[in-house]
Amino acid sequence: MYPMETKLEKKMESFWKEYATPISVVIVGVLIAGSIYTAPWQRAPLSTTETQTKLEQAVLPSDGATLPIIWGNLGAKLVEVGAIDSTKMAALYKDRGGFPAEYQKLIEENANDKIVITNWNSGYLLNLLWALGLANKNPILEDTNEMMNPAYKGAGNFASTGGWTLARGNAMSHYNMHLLITLTADQQAIVDRVSRNIYRPCCGNSTHFPDCNHGMAMLGLLELMASQGVGEQDMYKTALVVNSYWFPDTYLTIATYMRNKGIAWKDVSPKEMLSAPYSSSSGYQNTSSQVTQPQSAQNGGGCSA
């Protein structure tokens, strides 16, 4: 984990110049732009007001947030089956200034501590969970009304599939192919139900239709939480935390909107905040249009980490 600094805003631009690299993909069928760990954590400088600083700490704790999951040996399994090419993964970061031991451990060893998501590692965790969601065999990926809809001429034409270039071979050779997480019928039912209610502001689809990397990564996270006995309400709570680190401007805007209605962020309903009226691209745009704020929202974020 990287320590947070008081000079965070001054460091942010140089940090992302080191750690981000564009990898674009042209999507046919449903045209969506996707890439791997490319978008900087774009935010305007923090407001100097105490109220705004408290809001930012509530939405994006500077020390990070502990997720109720154990990663274990999933990274090593993803490498073993080829869903992650460890050489490509390491090169992506080494070419941009280094591949921290924390990152290496998550694809090589049993990581038996709870994962802490921070401003610094949120993009890397996005990539790991993206690979997990894409590769793990799950009925959601077989839905003929969504990812496998014949109208789209195959699931390989989405940002979440065509955009994954860190595998050995073609991403579709790993799509829905590997038994990495086994769910009971009850656990699968929870994943199915919760995934239909979680949206992301880069797209108009729920996690049940994971056509972009954030959706696929969230599906992987939900599967992992369900397999480890995390309850439905805690799944929503965790998903809101993770979405906030993936789309910081979006959720600072939503938090500002709720604050203006007299509702503190700690008191919001995570399920409601993740629903289409707030977290879909159109829902966020509607909310954002009603908020005057010191930070500059980035239209809910794009389909990249």
- Bridge partners for 117 per DSSP: 65
Q: Residue 8: what pLDDT?
A: 36
Q: Residue 36: what pLDDT?
A: 61
Q: Residue 109: what pLDDT?
A: 87
Residues 129, 142: Cα–Cα separation, whole Å: 19
Task: Kindly give, in sequence order, each residue whose CB lies less than 8 Å from that of residue 257, ignoring residues fewer than 6 positions away.
Answer: 287, 288, 290, 291
Spans in the chain with pLDDT lower than 50:
1-34, 37-48, 294-302, 304-305
pLDDT digits (tens, 9 = 90+) for 199-242: 999 999 999 999 999 999 999 999 999 999 999 999 999 999 99
Amino acid at 17: K
With respect to residue 137, please indicate whether it lies within any of the assigned structural domains.
Answer: yes
Structural domain including 68 reads: 8-198+206-237
The 3-state DSSP class for residue 103 equals: helix
With respect to residue 173, please indicate whether it lies within any of the assigned structural domains.
Answer: yes
Question: For the whole model, what pTM was predicted?
Answer: 0.83
With respect to residue 212, please indicate whether it lies within any of the assigned structural domains.
Answer: yes
Q: Residue 98: what pLDDT?
A: 77
Q: Residue 305: what pLDDT?
A: 34
Residues 98, 166: Cα–Cα separation, whole Å: 17
With respect to residue 117, please indicate whether it lies within any of the assigned structural domains.
Answer: yes
Q: Residue 193: what are its φ and ψ, rounded to 5°? A: -70, -50
With respect to residue 260, please indicate whether it lies within any of the assigned structural domains.
Answer: no
With respect to residue 164, please indicate whether it lies within any of the assigned structural domains.
Answer: yes
Residues 126, 290: Cα–Cα separation, whole Å: 30
Q: Residue 95: what pLDDT?
A: 73
Q: Residue 35: what pLDDT?
A: 53
Report the number of distinct structural domains present in the chain: 1
Q: Residue 47: what pLDDT?
A: 46
With respect to residue 42, please indicate whether it lies within any of the assigned structural domains.
Answer: yes
Q: Residue 26: what pLDDT?
A: 33
With respect to residue 257, please indicate whether it lies within any of the assigned structural domains.
Answer: no
260 and 291 Cβ atoms separated by less than 8 Å: yes
